[in-house]
Each structure stands twice: as C-alpha cells, then as structure tokens.
Amino acid sequence: MKVTLDQFKKCLFHRNLEVMNFEDLSCRIRGLHKDEEICKSDTQETFDSLLELYAHFYSIMEANLHILGTALNFQEDLRKRRVECESSVERKWIRHLTEYAYISVEDFHPESLSLIQGDFQDASTREQLLLLLYVWVRRLDLFLGYMDYRSTATQGLFPYEVSRGRLIKKYRNTLGLHVQEQTHKSLTDPNYLDLRNDISSVFLIPRTSDSYKVKPVSVSDAQHIQMVNLTKDWDHVRFGFFPGLLESFDEYDWHSEDRGHGETLFHFKEVQRESYRESVLQAVQALAERMPHFIMLPELTTPFGLQDQIGQLFSSGKADGLVMPGSFHVSGEELGDGHEPGRVYNYSQVWSKNGRKLVGVYKMNRFEFTAKEPCCESLKPYLKSKGVEQIDYTHRTLQLIETPMGLVAVLICVDAIVDQVEQILKDYHVALVFVMAMTGNPGGSHFEEKMKRLGKCNQAVTVVCNNPLGLQLTGKSHTVVVYFPLPNKVYTDERRDFIIDVGEMYRNG
C-alpha cells in the first residue's frame, strides 16, 4: 500500500515489514492492511537485539540501493548532504555510546531506537530519508565490526542467524589483493549496486530479494508457430550481427559532471558523425535482405529514434525471430509516461521480425571505467577520474520472452554478469541469453565465467554482440562471442557486419 512520508518513516521501524519501496513510498507489513492500522501500530521496542535492527535496516537498504544511486547521480544537493549526514550521524552515535554502552550486540537499548527515529524525523523527502538509512547502516556496520574485534568468543560473533537471514562477517581477501599488487592486474566487480560493497564488517544473506522483478512476455500466436519451425533445424538458424560503425569515443557527444569522490558522471547525448543514422539504417536494411532469423546490434550504438526506424524495417516480414536494434542513452522526456524527466536511461527496444515491439529493455546496473594511455581526447579526463555511467537504475524488471525454444532474456552489458541477475536466469531456467554490450573483453573474465555457469545449470546459449569501442579500453578484438554449453565451445568473431548460422558457429568454435 502507498503511504505518506510520515507513515513511511513509521513503517521503516516495524519488525514485521515485508516490502518497502522508496520509489513510490509503498510498503507491506505482515498483518496490517490499512493506513489507519499503520498509524495506530506500536513499533517501539520491537527489536530483540542490535543485530536484528541492523539486519532489518540492511535488507531495506539492499532493496533500495539502486534508487539512492540514481538520486545521487542526478541531485547535486543530495551529494553535498551526504558528507554532512555522515559527520552528524558519527557524532550522535559516539555521544550515544558514552551514555548507553553495549556489552554485547545481542543486547538492545530502546534509547538507540529513539535516537535513530528522531534523526529520521528531520528528513523532508524520501531521498533524504533513504540517504539517512544508508548512512546509519554504514555506521552500525562499523560498530558491529568493532564489537566483533573486541569479542572474547573464539570464533567471533558471526555468522549469526537473524529473522531476515544470516549475518556474515566480511573478510579481506589478502591473497587476492597480494596477487593484484604483484601483477598490477585486477578484476572488476560488476556488482556496483550490491550493498556489501559499501560496508566494511558485516553483510546480510537475505532469505529473499526485492531488488529485481521478473515479468514473462509471450510472443504472438503467429510468431510462436513460425518459431516452432526454427527448433526443427537449429543448424540453419541464421544470426545477423552488426557491431557498428563507430571508430572512436570522440564520435559521441558527451555529457559529464563531477560526482565527487574521484568520480565523473557521464552519458552520451548523441553520435556526432554526419549521416550516422542513415548509414546504420542502410547497413541493417542490407543485413535484413539476406534474411537472418535474429538480428543484433550492441550497446550504445542506436539512438532512440533510430531504434524505431530499424523496427519498422520489418513491418512486413515473417515473425520467425527477433530484432535487437542496440541500446543508447535516452532521456525520460523521450521515453514518455512512466519515466522521470531529467533522468537518463540506457534503453533498447526488442522487436519481433514482423515489426511488433515486444519489450523495452533497461540497463539495470551502471558501467564504470578508467581510461588508459594512449587514448582519444574524450577519454583523457578519465585517466585520473573514474567514469560512472549516469543512468537511472530503477526499472529493474527482467522481461523473459516465452518462445518455443524456451525462455529468452535480452540484457544490456554488465547486467549479464551481476550475481542476482545470474541467479534469476538460473532459477527460471532461461535457455537463450542475448547481451548487447560495450565491454573490453566479452569472451573472457566475468563474461566467460557467467556464460559457462549458465551453460552448466541451464544448458543455455549466450550470444554477445559487442560495441568495438569497448575493445579500445583493453586492446582485445572480439565483436561477437557465442557460448555453446553442450560442446563446450565459444565462437568468437572480429567482423562488424555478417550473417552466420548456428551450425557454423559451434563447429568452428
């Protein structure tokens, strides 16, 4: 149910809280069904220990971290408030402990709850309230780490079972860090919006997660019948790839702004190359005339209007496949209803091959990078500042397309290698995963790991079409990577415009 901000603050401290969404101020509390019941409900002193309170806050924050990340991307005043908030909470907590010391984290002082509730009353917007929750989670995390350090128990305090799951101590991987330091190489963790990356001491393994939703989408009856025929002759199912025309990051019209903490927000407003859209449209038209069943372009290749034009190329075609026209940064104003004006989305349409739009795909996790020499002019600001993709992450629904060949997922780049997304793909036994990417190593590292794990669990085939600009960050060369789980082969290609059938790919992998 949706509630007022004041009611929402009260819900925040209710131990029977099941779901809380800061995006629309909605919540669900076990046993309560009306606003009046929430207002009358006594939520004081309902936590048995500081650990239970921390786990309660952690689970709420984990489900809403993407909303805070989006707000910090687009609200400069909130970024400034964060520093003030952290200092204020630290002072209040230290002063509180001088009067109400904790002998054990299994204890709980009602005054601690009163302190935090009072602090939250000062929040006048949902973003401020969410920021306060984030800061308090991090402050309590540091305190739990301190309590664990001074514990006399042989094994420490953790793991510890709480009502929302299990609290686990966070360990520093000294061997891994040593190897990275010695080799000057490291792996990038794509789970930027995982709360455990923002805490130091203790994280929660929840019983359930509300960060992502799943929505099955059915193809039309006519398309279903025509796609049945594809499953009868897989070797001759044809894939058309057009990784694109872009040669340099200088061809993008960049928007950049300082995020603080050594980070620079960025998104692309347009491709500046003259006649770019006409050239892409002509290339896709030529590809379509050779009648592939699936057509795929990569991430950050196709501005919004061009996606529509590509889809319309197939308005009189057979509904025997899918067209993935590639994504781009799209404003909320362009996307219309259901999107926030002033925000930016990494978005792609997905079309049936008869010109019917099936789904809109949103990138749900941001891309981060640091440039390396030599590089083009547009990347030079990122030699010393981490680039952080400035997008909205709040559209977190995986739309799984139901087809005769099984469930099909279409993802944008880093989403394919995020742990929670992988788990959903495994849980739903997705059979075919298309990934529109702009990454430096689409055939190795995290992508290779995730493709193999999905293949082992689901016998899934993963198809990656990669924007070649991503390769400039690493010096790699693959524009297309296709993982086939049964023969345990990976097909790779460096071409920018080609058609190939399934049989040729797995035989030559």
Backbone angles phi, psi at 407, to 5 degrees: -70, 135
CA pair distance 272, 503, nearest whole angstrom: 38
Closest-CA residue to 67 (of 416, 417, 391, 411): 391
Q: Which amino acid is at 378?
A: S
Residue 344, strand partner residues: 331
> What CATH number belongs to 214-508?
3.60.110.10
Taking the complete model, does pTM exceed 0.95, yes or no? no
Q: Which amino acid is at 112?
A: S
The phi-psi region of residue 338 (left if phi > 0; otherwise alpha if psi is between -120 and 50; otherwise beta) is left
Cα 192–chain centre separation:
8
Residue 212 tokens, joined: 């992502």
DSSP H or E segment with residue 307: helix 304-312
- Judged by DSSP in three states, 149 sits in helix
Residue 192 tokens, joined: 């930027």
Q: Which residue has the tokens 């908030």?
A: 85
CA pair distance 82, 256, nearest whole angstrom: 21
Residue 462 tokens, joined: 């993963």
CA pair distance 465, 326, nearest whole angstrom: 9
| Distance (Å) of CA 103 to CA 51, 148, 291 | 13, 11, 72
CA pair distance 329, 345, nearest whole angstrom: 5
Tell me the domain boundaries of the chain.
44-205, 214-508
243-260 exposure pattern, b = at least 16 Cβ within 10 A, e = fewer: bbbbeebebbebeeeebe
Query: Any residues with CB less than 8 A from the CB of 275 and at least 6 apart, and which?
Result: none
What is the pLDDT at residue 43? 47
What is the pLDDT at residue 473? 74
Residue 414 DSSP symbol: G
What is the pLDDT at residue 221? 86
Backbone angles phi, psi at 205, to 5 degrees: -95, 105
CA pair distance 184, 379, nearest whole angstrom: 21
DSSP 241-298: E---S---GGGEEEEEEEEETTEEEEEEEEE-STTHHHHHHHHHHHHHTT--SEEE--
CA pair distance 214, 329, nearest whole angstrom: 23
- Judged by DSSP in three states, 344 sits in strand
Encode the chain (509 residues) as per-residue pLDDT tens digits: 788 999 899 889 988 888 999 999 999 888 776 555 555 555 444 788 999 999 999 999 999 999 999 999 999 999 999 999 999 999 999 999 999 999 888 888 989 999 999 999 999 999 999 999 999 999 999 999 999 888 765 457 888 999 999 999 888 777 666 766 777 766 667 778 889 889 999 999 877 666 899 998 988 888 888 888 888 888 899 999 999 999 999 999 999 999 888 999 999 999 999 899 999 999 999 999 999 999 999 999 999 999 999 999 988 777 789 999 999 999 999 999 999 999 999 999 999 988 889 999 999 999 999 888 889 999 999 999 999 999 999 999 999 998 888 899 999 999 999 999 999 999 888 999 999 999 988 877 789 889 988 888 888 899 999 999 987 877 777 899 999 886 667 899 999 999 999 989 988 87
CA pair distance 287, 281, nearest whole angstrom: 10
CA pair distance 260, 189, nearest whole angstrom: 21
Query: Any residues with CB less than 8 A from the CB of 424 and at least 6 apart, and which?
Result: 212, 214, 398
